Every structure is written in structure tokens, then in C-alpha cells.
Structure 1
Amino acid sequence: MMSPGPINGEHPIPHHPIRSARIVGDDGEESVVATVYCPLKERSTTVPECESCHRFHALHFDAASRTTSVVCHSGPASRGEERADPLRGVGRPVNPEAPLADIMTRDVVCVRPEVTVDEITALLVRHGISGMPVVDAEGKPVGMVSRADVLRAAQERGDTEESERLTLRRDEVAPLDIEQGFHVYEPVETTARDIMTPVVLQMHESASIRQAASLMAYEGVHRLPVTSDDGKVVGILSALDVLRWFGRSCGYLIPPARKRA
């Protein structure tokens, strides 16, 4: 579908990108929660709810960036233009009050606390990221796990796996034919819960870039989960996201983040 352009000299209709939170469970299954930020309500909403609004115009797919946006009559075109084309903005002054909904990474990968370190390692490599939020059953952040946490766990584990003793009743058959006096031990897998940072610094999607950048610098963190009104993760802000936003605001053409297949 083509994006609506200027009509009779009017501004283009604003575009609002659809965000997706991919939550990986301990069984390896992914669930995807799609939302869109409404600048009028100043909160996230589901795509079906957005489509039922009288301001809704269409869904637009951009082949170059492979992103889908909601096109609606929701506000000033200037804000929508920044969403529709992140490379535009040459000559515009840096706006420290820009909301995180416009700047954050909109496709965020999350894991449940029960996901193993091996699966976390695979996700980090597959998606080309260095960290991800750990969320509960409702999609609310309970911790952060990073590449450094994975490496630290591997170093502490060394060549041996932590194990737990397996006790059998007399009427049970032992998995191995072992002699009296020997015991069977099963390896205990390390999970996100074991290695994550349990204290979560997070910000609401309507918070400004100056607030987020100040918090990240003060706390010395490289990423922040971005949450909606109900506390669920709808995006993530990384230090690179802040640098991309600053470069674009200064007039430089910065390409979108590269994604690995």
C-alpha cells in the first residue's frame, strides 16, 4: 500500500510504527505482542483498537525498512514525518523532549525467567543484540540479562555443571545399572533467573530522551526497557539508539540498525 502524500499542499498524514515484543518461553516458543503508540492518548494501544478509531486511515508497509505503520489523522504531520522516515530531519534543532516512543527499538526480544543460558546465548547471536529484558507471565520486566552476564556465568561454571542428587525409591528402576554406594546426579541448568540483574531500570514510552539519557548515564547502563501504562515491555532503548537519534537530529543520514536473520 502506498503511503498517503501531500494533498493540495497539505502535510502528509502521520505514520505511527507498529512495535512488537517477542517473548521467548522455556519451551522455546515465541509469543508476539503488537502495539502502536497513540500520540493523542499518549499511551500504547493494540492494532485492532487503533483500526476501530475514526481517525484510522490505513496500514502502510515500507519495503525498504520492512516496517509496518498505522496511518491516521492523529496529530501534527511533523511528528509523524519523523516516524515515517527516520533519515529525515536535516536542519531541525535537537529536541530533548522527543518521546521514547519515537526513538526506541520497536522490535524487542524478551525471555521468561525459566529460559536457559544456552537458549539466551542463541538468541543474542541470532538477533545480533547484547542484552534483553526478562519478563514475567504478564510481560512486565523483572530483570535484565546481558552478554556480560552470559560470559560471567560461563566463566563461573567452568568445565563442570552444577548438579543435584537424584534419590530413587526402592520400587523405582535406576536409570543406570550402578553398584551400591554410588549415586546418580542430574545437571542443573542455569537459567535467566540465575544470572539476570534483578533490579530493573525502566521508563514509560512517553518519557523524553533527555530523561532517559540522563538516567542511563547516571546509572551506567547501556539499555532501558520501555513500558506502557500497564507496565508491559513495548520497546527497548539502547545507547546506540540515543546516538542514532542525536546524529539524525544534527542532520546526518544514519541508516537503521542492521538486523540479523
Structure 2
Amino acid sequence: MTSPGPINGEHPIPHHPIRSARIFGDDGEESVVATVYCPVQERSTTVPECESCRRFHALHFDATARTTSVLCHSGPAGRGAERGDLLRGVGGPLEPETPLADIMTRDVICVRPEVTVDEITTLLVRHGISGMPVVDAEGKPVGMVSRADVLRAAQERGDTEELERLTLRADDVAPLDIEQGFHVYEPVKTTARDVMTPVVVQLHESASIRQAASLMAYEGVHRLAVTSDDGKVVGILSSLDVLRWFGRSCGYLIPPARKRA
């Protein structure tokens, strides 16, 4: 790790924040996919690939913002490179062509379709978020689940769960001490696949805030998935992210979204 410094005494070295997609499966396991947006190639790349590039300078950890960035000799530092999460765009003109890679929430929580609604509820509360992408085994979005979807599922479910009859083998019955004529039932768990919105509103990370705001307003959605060239989720853009960008561009000092452990 290193601190930012000037290039030949002229420009600070640009920072490119490392993004992480945390994907939760139905087995409780969590996988993390870390990427960084390359402004030269205009696409996401892995951190090892970035480190092997001749433009790579170092990794920098910001203890205040608790973020890690790649320092790269890709040209003069862009807007807000030093403290992008806090100061990006403050007092500057509105730039509707600003790419989503600069604005989106970079640490995104995703779930597999098999994750239960109870587990989704726990993630929403723990991380203080209102929705998350549902992704397949390759990390590509197949739906979006929101707090409203979870509440709707709870209301429809009421106080009872749908039950599924289990077929037991003869050697399974004895330990349970079940008399003949009785059957074992267990609740059928409601999953992300059951409650998600299966139509995914998404844009490539190089798309502009102008395109994203227009699409979100047209579709009437509060969030959209941000994807890389291979179609995998690398971030999420919410209506609050758009409002933060607008407020900062108008000169207001707006802190980043609060993170919950």
C-alpha cells in the first residue's frame, strides 16, 4: 500500500476504487468478486490483471473511507480522484455523461435464486439496504428483490407456511416414533426466485448518468444493476446514488452512504 503522489510533480496519480460483489448462496456461503474499472480500456478488469499492466503504480488504502483503490498512470487525475466518495463533483458543472462506474454503489450484495426470504430479510436489515440483485451461478443478474417484495411475501404467507409432504422410508420412521397413518410435513420455504422481479433493468458500467436516470424514470424503478462486458454484476445504482451525484454537482458536501457491518 502507498499514499498518492504526484506524477513528475505535475498531477496526483488517479485513484480507481476496487469494487466488490458479495454473492450469498442458499448454503450460507459467501463469495466475493473484486474488480476495478479501467478508464483506458473502458471496462472492468480483475485486480491481478490490473497489477500486471505497465500503467499500474500501487494499491492505496483510505483508512477514513475504508476503501482500497488502484493508483494507475492512466493520465491526469479525474474529478474527485483523491476523495471520490466525498468530494466527487462538488461545485463543478453537471456532467450528464459521467459514467456509472464513477457513481454507482461499488460494494453490492447479491443473492442466488435459492436463498430464502428469511435470509434475504436478514441481509437487508444487516446491511441497511432496500434491495439487491439476484444472480445466477455465473454472477449474471436474473432478477431484483426489494424490501417491498419481502413484505408482500410475508403478507401473503400470513401466519402459516405452505407444507410439503415428505415420503419416508421404513427405516426413517422408527427413530421418529411415528405411528402408522401419520405423515411428516415440513414448511416449503419461499425463495428469492418466488418473490423477485424477473425483469432486470440494467446498464453497462460505461453508460452515463443521463441514460440511467432516464431509464429509471421511464421504468419506474428505484435501482438498476450495473454490469461489465461479460454481463456480471459489478455494482448497483439507486435513486439515492443519482440524488447524491446531483447534490454534489450543485456544490453540496454530501457524505457517502452509511455502511453497516
Q: Give the TM interval when normalised to the shorter protein.
A: over 0.9
Q: Spell out, residue by residue over 1:136-176, the C-alpha distance to the aligned partner (whole angstroms, 9 max, x if none).
A: 00000000011111111111111111111112344542564
Partner of 1:112: 112
Distance 1:88 1:133, change over 3 A: closer
Contact 1:117 1:190 in 2 (8 A): yes
Partner of 2:23: 23
Contact 2:89 2:249 in 1 (8 A): yes
Q: Spell out, residue by residue over 1:95-148, the C-alpha distance to the aligned partner (whole angstroms, 9 max, x if none).
A: 000000000000000000111111111100110000000000000000001111
Distance 1:179 1:90, change over 3 A: closer
Q: Spell out, residue by residue over 1:164-198, the C-alpha distance to the aligned partner (whole angstroms, 9 max, x if none).
A: 11123445425643444332211111111111111
1:216 maps onto 2:216 in alignment: yes
Report the alpha carbon displacement of residue 207 of structure 1 after superposing the two structures with TM.
0.2
Contact 1:14 1:84 in 2 (8 A): no
Distance (whole Å) between structure 1 residues aligned to residue 175 and residue 144 of structure 2:
38
Which shifted more, 169-178 or 110-119? 169-178
Partner of 2:47: 47
- SS of equivalent residue, structure 1 residue 44: strand
1:234 maps onto 2:234 in alignment: yes
Contact 2:202 2:227 in 1 (8 A): yes
Contact 2:57 2:71 in 1 (8 A): yes
- SS of equivalent residue, structure 1 residue 77: coil
Partner of 2:204: 204
Distance 1:80 1:39, change over 3 A: farther
Partner of 2:194: 194
Contact 2:85 2:255 in 1 (8 A): no
Report the alpha carbon displacement of residue 68 of structure 1 after superposing the two structures with TM.
0.5
Residue type of the alignment partner of 1:87: L
Distance (whole Å) between structure 2 residues aligned to residue 158 and residue 175 of structure 1:
32
Distance (whole Å) between structure 2 residues aligned to residue 57 and residue 37 of structure 1:
15
Correspondence 1:1-261 to 2 at 5 A = 1-5=2-6, 8=9, 10-79=10-79, 81=81, 84=84, 86-170=86-170, 172-173=172-173, 176-261=176-261
Report the alpha carbon displacement of residue 63 of structure 1 after superposing the two structures with TM.
1.1
Which shifted more, 170-179 or 188-197? 170-179
Contact 1:17 1:83 in 2 (8 A): no
Distance (whole Å) between structure 2 residues aligned to residue 118 and residue 28 of structure 1:
12
Contact 1:16 1:83 in 2 (8 A): no
Residue type of the alignment partner of 1:71: L
Distance (whole Å) between structure 2 residues aligned to residue 64 and residue 36 of structure 1:
20
- SS of equivalent residue, structure 1 residue 78: coil
Report the alpha carbon displacement of residue 80 of structure 1 after superposing the two structures with TM.
6.1
- Unpaired runs of 5+ residues, structure 1, are none
Report the count of equivalent residues. 260
Identity among equivalent positions (%) equals 87
- SS of equivalent residue, structure 2 residue 12: coil
- SS of equivalent residue, structure 2 residue 97: coil
Contact 2:40 2:74 in 1 (8 A): yes
Distance (whole Å) between structure 1 residues aligned to residue 138 and residue 77 of structure 2:
34
Which shifted more, 162-171 or 203-212? 162-171
Distance (whole Å) between structure 2 residues aligned to residue 76 and residue 169 of structure 1:
70
Contact 2:37 2:43 in 1 (8 A): yes
- SS of equivalent residue, structure 1 residue 173: helix
Residue type of the alignment partner of 2:63: A
Contact 2:91 2:252 in 1 (8 A): no
Distance (whole Å) between structure 2 residues aligned to residue 44 and residue 174 of structure 1:
57
Distance (whole Å) between structure 2 residues aligned to residue 189 and residue 79 of structure 1:
47
Residue type of the alignment partner of 2:37: Y
Contact 1:88 1:253 in 2 (8 A): no
Which shifted more, 147-156 or 182-191? 182-191
- SS of equivalent residue, structure 2 residue 11: coil
